[in-house]
A and B are shown apart, each in its own frame.
Chain A
Amino acid sequence: MKQSQLIKGVLEGCVLAIISQGETYGLMQALHHHGFPSLVGGTLYPLLAKLEKGGDIVSIKKPSPDGPARKYYMLTPQGKETFQNFQHQWSQLSGHVNQLIDEVHSNDENPGHPG
């Protein structure tokens, strides 16, 4: 399975996670830093626009010493709730997946005892 397909489902939650840490700009660098090195703007910008349109994040412009004002993103109360739901879902999903993988490993080590 391509990594990009796996990432698609969780990227939204990861973007919310980064923004939840405080007013953010330069999300691409933050996501690269957090283990999404192959992420491109073609994926990120439409996702940000979707989250903003859906009311999970808002953006404000703040002056920048390097040039024109930058767009900073913040979570809205709805976005905080979406992020909490994501954490809950991710915790369940990752638990189930890890359990399944552990079972596979254990079966590999003991081929005579399935399940």
Chain B
Amino acid sequence: MTKTQATLDEINRLTEQLAPADQAYFTDLQLYLSTAGLFYDEAQLNDQLLNMLLDLREANQHGQSARAFFGNDPQTMGNHLIQQFPQPKLRDQLGLFSLLLGISWVFQILSSPQTAGGLSLNLVAFILVPILEICAIILIIRILHTSIYPNNHHQWWPYLLTGLIVTITISLIVILNSWVTVGWTFLIPDPWHTILLAAMAIGATVYLLGALLHRWRHHQA
């Protein structure tokens, strides 16, 4: 188990012990900070949250609620904390982008049509679909972030906007995959496409088994 995961587990365990109102206050703050950006240092954020939670637990013992301890304006506190987050490192940003890109490409390859000559990759979709997906993810996280402390009573707008983004993204992906194919394809000939698919299947299986083993060890510990 990584240090970050251990801290997050500790936060979850301690949050469950809070009174319902304090639990709601703290989980909202946690979600607000976590959705401030894709690339902030998760370990540092969790350290900050755990520290605040431990102080809150002590305040609880003196009869103070989360609202009394942290104040009536968690959003402003959250904004001020976000301002102090260190700028994300380029390495972390590239790492996450690569992961999203990799996942998208795996699905692109798996869903590409197989012809007599091999696997036919749609190049336009191969380039544009990951960009679309990453933009959609960033937008949805942004909506989630702003919906935690809504400024008005229209609580339905995040659902509507998220629904619209998902619908538009899926529609564009379908259009890119099915319409823009002529002259923009790349053929992976036999047997390379079979080798590529086999390598992906082995990679996914090893990853899945590794994750299961990790969870099993964590439960045993």
Question: For the complex, is A26 an interface residue (Cβ under 8 Å from B)?
Answer: yes
Chain A residues 61-114 with CB under 8 Å of chain B are 61, 67-68, 70-71
Interface of B (DSSP majority class): helix
**Across the interface, which residues of B come within 8 angstroms of A70, CB to CB?**
51, 54
Instruction: Tell yes or no: B47 within 8 A of A by CB.
Output: yes
Docked complex Cα distance between A15 and B131 (Å): 46
How many Å from the CB of A73 to the closest CB on chain B? 10
Contact A28 B50 (CB under 8 A): no
Known: A26-B55, A68-B10, A71-B47. A53 touches B84 (CB 8 A): yes
Q: Contact: B55 with A68, CB < 8 Å?
A: no
Q: A26, A46, A49: which contacts B58 (Cβ < 8 A)? A: A26
Interface size on B, residues (CB 8 A): 26
Q: Is the CB of A67 within 8 A of B77?
A: no
Which residues of chain A have C-beta atoms less than 8 A from B191's C-beta? none
Contact between B48 and A40, CB atoms less than 8 A apart? no
Interface centre among A45, A52, A71 (most CB of B within 10 A): A45
In the bound assembly, the distance between CA atoms of A50 and B71 in angstroms comes to 18
In the complex the two chains form, what is the Cα distance from A26 to B58 in whole Å?
9
A70 to B58, CA, bound (A): 12
Partner of A40, one of B50, B71, B80: B71
Pairs A-B, 10 closest by C-beta atoms = A42-B71, A46-B80, A40-B71, A49-B84, A42-B77, A41-B70, A71-B51, A53-B84, A50-B84, A46-B81
What is A's interface to B at a CB cutoff of 8 Å?
26, 28-29, 40-43, 45-46, 49-50, 52-53, 61, 67-68, 70-71
- Chain B residues with a Cβ under 8 A of chain A: 10, 14, 47-48, 50-52, 54-56, 58-59, 68-71, 73-74, 76-77, 80-81, 83-86
